[in-house]
């Protein structure tokens, strides 16, 4: 199996007792086994356990973080993440629902690197794009694109200062997916799109409007995806208020969005003292979760989920969650 632009570093990660998803055994082999289960759960097999036989088709090697190459990718059934380094201008990022605070850039960069390394430890091939000095929010690669099995959809972002982010991200995705585009001047951001199997719940927020939802539905309809609009208040994106953990279970602050479209799901409510704690990144049997929300973490663990805490306290000053810093898909 060949993956252009990726260097492998098998000795770079060791078993870490702080992260319960790792073992004390061979850390080169363990992520391969666990990553197979992770992919099936990350996508539709999390909703349909009967599809577990699909795991037999997955082959994962030890992962690394590498610069993105625009050369054609020769990959077979690999779970891939695209990330982007923290912009040196992060302190000038767009803010909507949090107060601006001083940002320690070096600490923010360290926390983002730890995030990338955790993804790699979980068996994901991480492609890290270079920082964009003129684009403060550009590390949030989830917002300019949606990546599905059949295609990637490039999105016109809801703030003018962020719109240039999409061009370089489209180039990074082109080796992996056919590209479709939602036409400006409408607005839609990936942070508003919660995919569960073949349904995309799309938040209607200050960053995503009804025309953006309509165009997305028109593009995805021929691929048998269902698009469901969800009114959102009180937070930046839909996934600021609700994320999917697997097992038909949502983690949510239900005060911030219309719950009606999710009537058939089970709920874990965030602790009332931690209203911003609804954004988690579920990779199969591991839930990556901000270390700054211990009370909500206890609720997730009480429901039977394995939680790996991660310190993103400096990035949270930029209104960051965990899902927004990567695009994860199979190739």
CA distance 203 to 268: 19
Give the span between the Cα atoms of 292 and 278, in whole angstroms.
12
3-state class (DSSP) for residue 37: helix
Please confirm, yes or no, whether 237 is among the known catalytic residues: yes
Phi, psi of 121, deg, nearest 5: -65, -30
The active-site residue out of 37, 125, 237, 276 is: 237
The active-site residue out of 93, 235, 276, 324 is 324
The answer to whether 104 touches 91, Cβ cutoff 8 Å, is: no
**What's the token pair of residue 66?**
């590498």
Show the 3-state SS of 213-256.
HHHHHHHHHHHCCEEEEEEECCCCCHHHHEEEEECCEEEECHHH
* CB of 278 closer than 8 Å to CB of 252: yes
Q: Would residue 93 show up in a list of annotated catalytic residues for this protein?
A: no
Segment holding 66, helix H or strand E: strand 65-67
Q: Are strands 65-67 and 125-129 parallel, antiparallel or unpaired?
A: parallel
Known catalytic residues?
A: 237, 324
């Amino acid at each position: 199996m060949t993956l252009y632009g990726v260097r492998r570093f098998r000795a770079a990660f060791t078993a870490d007792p702080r992260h319960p998803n790792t073992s004390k055994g061979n850390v080169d082999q363990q992520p391969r086994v666990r990553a197979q289960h992770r992919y099936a759960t990350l996508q539709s097999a999390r909703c349909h356990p009967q599809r577990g036989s699909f795991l037999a088709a997955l082959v994962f090697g030890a992962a690394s973080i590498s610069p993105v190459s625009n050369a054609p990718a020769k990959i077979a059934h690999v779970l891939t993440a695209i990330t982007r380094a923290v912009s040196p201008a992060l302190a000038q990022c767009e803010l909507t629902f949090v107060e601006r605070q001083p940002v320690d850039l070096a600490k923010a960069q360290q926390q983002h690197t730890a995030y990338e390394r955790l993804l790699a430890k979980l068996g994901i091939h991480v492609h890290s794009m270079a920082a964009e000095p003129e684009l403060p929010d550009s590390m949030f690669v989830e917002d300019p694109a949606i990546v599905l099995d059949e295609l990637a959809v490039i999105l016109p972002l809801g703030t003018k200062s962020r719109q240039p982010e999409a061009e370089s991200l489209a180039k990074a995705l082109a080796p992996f997916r056919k590209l479709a585009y939602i036409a400006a001047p409408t607005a839609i951001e990936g942070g508003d799109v919660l995919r569960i199997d073949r349904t995309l719940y799309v938040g209607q927020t200050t960053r995503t409007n009804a025309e953006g939802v309509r165009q997305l539905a028109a593009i995805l309809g021929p691929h048998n995806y269902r698009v469901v609009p969800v009114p959102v208040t009180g937070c930046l994106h839909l996934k600021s208020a609700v994320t999917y953990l697997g097992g038909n279970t949502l983690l949510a602050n239900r005060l911030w969005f219309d719950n009606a479209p999710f009537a058939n799901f089970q709920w874990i409510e965030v602790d009332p003292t931690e209203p911003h704690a609804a954004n988690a990144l579920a990779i199969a049997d591991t839930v990556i979760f901000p270390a700054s929300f211990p009370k909500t973490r206890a609720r997730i663990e009480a429901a039977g989920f394995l939680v790996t805490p991660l310190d993103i306290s400096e990035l949270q000053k930029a209104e960051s969650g965990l899902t927004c810093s990567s695009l994860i898909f199979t190739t």
